[in-house]
Each structure stands twice: as C-alpha cells, then as structure tokens.
Amino acid sequence: MSTADLRREFAQLEAKIIELKDALVVAEHRRATVQQQLRQVATFPILTLPVEITAQIFTHSPLVFLTVCHRWRDIAFTTPALWSAFRLLFDTIRQFDNIRPHWPEPAQIESYIHQWLGRAGGHQPLSLTLGMEGYFVPALYKKFPLPRIRDIIHLYAPRIAYLELYCNPAQIRELALDTVAFPMLQHVCITSDDSDGSFPSSEPLEVFSDAPQLTQLTLEYLACPSSYVLPALQLTKFEGYLDNLEILTLAPNLIEATCRTTDPCRVPSSPITHARLRSLTLSGPQCHDRNMVMEPMDILPYLTLPELRTLDLSAYKTAANPASISEFVRRSGASLLTLVLVVNETHQEDGSEWVYDEWEACFRCLQDALEGLIVWPTKAFLS
C-alpha cells in the first residue's frame, strides 16, 4: 500500500472515531435524561409495602437498612420494637487508627447504648445482653468497669424483660442485682464458670429478689444454681449445669427442665419427688472446646416425677441404662408420652454390656404409656 493510501485510511479512521465519540456523548446525555424521568415515574414494589411489614423485616438487623433509602431510614427510626434488643460484649469492641486497634472511651460506649435504647421509646420491653466473653480475665473490666455496667442495668431495670450476663458470681456481686426492682423481667441467662475459684461456694449470692414475673432461668457453661439465691418458687423453666439436684427441691413449680450433669454431682440419699415437672432433658455440661463431648451422669435413680410426659436422653451416647429407665418409670408412675434416646451396646461398670433383651424389657415397660418413641440405634446395636 502506498503512502497516499495509508494517509487516506488514517484520515477515514480519525473521522470515524470523532463520529463515534459524538454519538457516545449524545447517548450518555439521553441516558441521564431517561434515568431522571424514570425516577419520577417508576414504582419500587418493596417501597409500597405497609410500614408494619417493612418494620418487621427490619427487626432482624435494623442497622443494615438505615443506608438503603430515606424512607427505610425513617421507618427504622420510628419503630421502637427494632431497638428493644441490645447485645454488647465489651471485649469485642474495637476502634482502629492508622497504627493499632484501641478501645473507645467508656463514655462513648455508654452514649451509644443510650442512643440505641432511647429509640425503643419509653414503654417497650427490653432485651439486654451485657458483659464480656473474657469474664474470667478481670483486667478486661478495667477498660469498661463493672460499676458502669451496673449503672446501665439499674437505669433500664424497670423495662428489662430478658437479661443475659457474661459474668462470674464475684462480678455479678458488683452489679448489685438484689438492690433494684425488675418488674418486667421474665427470663435471665447467666454465662460463667463458677468453678474457677473466684467465688466461695459457701456464699451463695442473692439476685433478682424483686422480680415478680421471673419464670425462666438459663445458666450457660458451668454456671451453677447453687452459687445464687434465686426466687426459685416462681420458676417454671430451667436450663443449666447442676452440681447437685437442689434446684428440683427449691423450684417446685418447674414444668420444663434441661439439666446438664456429670460426675461428680452431689445426689440425695433417696429420690427427690417433683410433682409438676412435665418435660426433662438430660445432657452433659458445655465445654469451650466444641469437639469435646462430656457424658451426662445418670440421675434418673434419684428422681421421682409422676407428671413427666417427655423424657429426652438423646445426649447419652454411651451410658443410657435401660434398667434405670424402666425403674424410673415404674417408681414415678408417670404416663410418659415421648421418649428420646440413643440405643447401643453400652458397657456397664463391671465391663458387661447392655444387651438387646434389656432394651426390649425396657420398651415393654413403656409400651402402654408411650405415644411417641424416638430411638437412634447405633450400627453395633442393629447388628
């Protein structure tokens, strides 16, 4: 191709590029115009939902929706129920600068808490979770002192319906929970390790002495009811670790109980009779290591439960005792409706095994009463 031909083609390409650029400018201008017109006439179905439904969607995570649009922000800020639940573990708070993470000032944290709960209005029942996952490291509370947590709890105590604390008994003493009224409190959950030696077992701590509606108590990890003096007569539901069976004597109105036990557990010389308990789940204590399985202690020989309707022993992976179950049912005279258990060939203390005939005898003992039997047999048992 000659020089003249190349110059001619080059000029044509430049002209084409200029033409395309002009067309692009026109198209971008038209796009902006159409977009503006669309915003004026378009409808977004989700924005046409009733405020009540939108607010219900927000309940799961109100902060996520605050930056979506002005309408959703307005709905979130004017719906008190969205702000009635607050959870804050102080040792998880971090602020970052250009060098290293650092803690915000306690006043900043308090301001955030009051701002959040302030949006719940003045009458909405509150759900409050406070404390530190590292409650067993006292130095952490130097960053947010326990008296500040105490003041927050006392301030909102008249409206708290659910209270969850990550504290050991020594730290809970500083919260002075026996000096304030909780007129709306229904459920308390305490997570701690009462076996860490920080609180003498001979000095049970009085808590929630003025909580007339408290009916549910949950003690997570190794928190023990024997560490506290509770309004036990009110309780209808209990879940937690037991180092003895005293709670079943102190709380005669329990209807449902999930008891985590393991050896050693102090047991009475004769069976305890509980006249109202209708549902009982037995399991081993919780561990920080989720892969670690702790076998529950068989406490059925120490119980007589005439009103029991549901017995869940599915946590007994190796120690479910068919003879113990049969004797418990006979002694209780219970019309057991549902039994959940794992059946396998489990070794007894003398080295022998529970055999098929003993399980058959157990099921025959229960057959007239049971309406539901959930059995998870192992391969060894089926073979």
Predicted TM-score (pTM) of the model is: 0.74
More confident residue, 293 or 71: 71
β-pairing verdict for 95-96 and 101-102 = antiparallel
Per-residue model confidence as pLDDT tens digits over 165-190: 988 788 888 899 999 999 999 999 99
Q: Do 76 and 196 fall within a single domain?
A: no
Radius of gyration of the chain (CA): 32
Domain co-membership, 228 together with 338? no
Q: Does the pLDDT value for residue 333 go beyond 80?
A: yes
Residues 301 and 343 in one domain: yes
Residues 79, 166, single domain; the answer is no
**Whether residue 98 has pLDDT greater than 90:** no
**pLDDT for the residue numbered 303:** 93
Same domain, 229 and 135: yes
* 2 in a structural domain: no
* Same structural domain, 261 and 368: yes
| Max mean pLDDT range (59-63, 163-167, 369-373) | 163-167
**Sign of the CA dihedral running 253, 259, 263, 264:** negative
- Residue pair 98/140 in contact (Cβ under 8 Å)? The answer is no
27 assigned to some structural domain: no
What's the domain count of the chain? 3
Please tell me the distance from the alpha carbon of residue 190 to that of residue 179, in angstroms, as a whole number. 18
pLDDT exceeds 70 at position 346 = no
Among 77-86, 205-214, 311-320, name the one with the lowest average pLDDT: 311-320
Helix (H) / strand (E) containing 62: helix 62-65
Query: How confident is the model over 299-327, as pLDDT tens digits?
Result: 899 999 999 999 998 877 665 788 888 88
Average pLDDT over residues 220-232: 83
- Same domain, yes or no: 370 and 279: yes
Taking CB atoms within 8 Å and a gap of at least 24, the contacts of 348-357 are 354/320, 354/321, 354/322, 356/381
Q: Which domain holds residue 265?
A: 256-383
Report yes or no on 357 lying in a domain: yes
Q: How many angstroms separate the CA atoms of 243 and 222, rounded?
A: 9
137 & 63 share domain = no
Look at residue 170 in the predicted model and tell me its pLDDT: 81
Instruction: Please tell me the distance from the alpha carbon of residue 106 to that of residue 272, in angstroms, as a whole number.
Output: 48
User: What's the pLDDT at 7?
Assistant: 84
DSSP assigned state of 285 = P
283 and 296 inside one domain: yes
Name which of 237-246, 337-346, 357-366 the model is least confident about.
337-346
CA–CA gap between residue 166 and residue 134 (Å, rounded): 8
What is the 8-class DSSP label of residue 353? B
Same domain, 72 and 123: no
Chosen domain end from 17, 50, 83: 83
In the predicted model, is pLDDT for residue 351 greater than 50?
A: no
